[in-house]
Amino acid sequence: MKAKETLETLQTYPITHIIFLPGLYIRAVREDLRNFQFPKLRICKTTGEPMDKEVMRKWKESTGIDLRESYGQTEMVSA
């Protein structure tokens, strides 16, 4: 799904929690987030790989919602 389509879905439906890979957030902050409203969205997480801190800052600045990094079993395994 493209970032714009995802943002439109978040705007349209009463979604409260999301977990996306960093790539989607990276593409999302390239959109003009001021054109979108997320009335029900409360928790935003990312997982799978480290998130760029500048993307996290832009997301917070544009949406008012902190972007939290989550770590799962695959991120905790060392070679």
Which DSSP string do the residues of 46-75 spell out, in sequence order?
E-SSPPPHHHHHHHHHHHS--EEE---HHH
The pTM score is 0.84
- In the chain, domain spans: 3-72
Whether 73 and 48 have beta carbons less than 8 Å apart is answered as no
* CATH number for the domain formed by residue range(s) 3-72: 3.40.50.980
The rounded distance, in Å, linking the Cα atoms of 41 and 63 is 9
User: pLDDT tens digits for 26-65?
Assistant: 999 999 888 899 999 999 999 888 899 999 999 999 999 9
Residue 4 in this model has a pLDDT that exceeds 90: yes
